Amino acid sequence: MKAKTTRTEGSRYYPKRYDMQPASRDAILDEGLVCHVAFNLEGQPFIIPTGYCRVDNTLYLHGSVGSHFFMQMAKGIPVCVSVTLLDGLVLARSVFNHSMNYRSVVAFGKTRLVDTDAERWLAAERFTEHVMPGRWADARQPDASDMKKTMFIAVEIEEASVKFRAHGVMDDPEDMDLNVWAGVVPLKLGTLEPVVDENGKQGIPLPDYLLNYQR
């Protein structure tokens, strides 16, 4: 990655909320499922939510070949990609001091159309495994017709900023004796009971990778 610039330098107001370790960046990206991609198109700013996966220092985005936004990214444009994981709601005695516990990555890079068969198949497999590990070997894999309808965009991460909050309430001294509950409400992404598709073959047991699935 390139050296940090003003785009990714930590704020002087909360320097302890920034993590400079590449492993922290990768852990957040690998846990998340949805990113937001920001870029300028014909002088107008756009932000689109989309799925992604990470392979080393590259993010892969997946979309339809008919997508207007993906066709623009295929030309090679600078983008900002952000991923945020929400870990808790921080309820203080004062509304002003309410906050959230979170982990986030803001990455900068330039888009590139994935145009070789080897890299397209790599992206397809890693994308599937990022969402549901074990699924690639279990489900029908894409055929040539499927791949013709799919576009993969690569973003080589040039620089990135990792920011987080992972502590409790920080109230003002004069509010500590208020008769108001204060604390943290932890949050996490979880799964509910899987709902089987009513069409097609029935009676197929849940695969082990789905029984044990968690982010």
pLDDT per residue rounded down to tens, the chain (215 residues):
455 666 666 555 566 667 778 899 999 999 999 999 999 998 999 999 999 999 999 999 999 999 999 999 999 999 999 999 999 999 999 999 999 999 999 999 999 999 999 999 999 999 999 999 999 999 999 999 999 999 999 999 999 999 999 999 999 999 999 999 999 999 999 999 999 999 999 999 999 999 989 88
User: Domain coordinates of the chain in residue numbers?
Assistant: 15-211
Burial class (CB in 10 A: 0-12, 13-18, 19+), 79: buried
Fold assignment, 15-211: Pnp Oxidase; Chain A (2.30.110)
Residue with tokens 């009676």: 203
Q: Which pTM was predicted?
A: 0.90
Would you state the pLDDT for residue 67? 96
Would you state the pLDDT for residue 3? 56
CA angle, 32 then 4 then 24, to 5°:
30
At position 169, the amino acid (one-letter code) is V
Would you state the pLDDT for residue 215? 85
Would you state the pLDDT for residue 123? 98
- CA–chain centroid gap for 92, Å, is 28
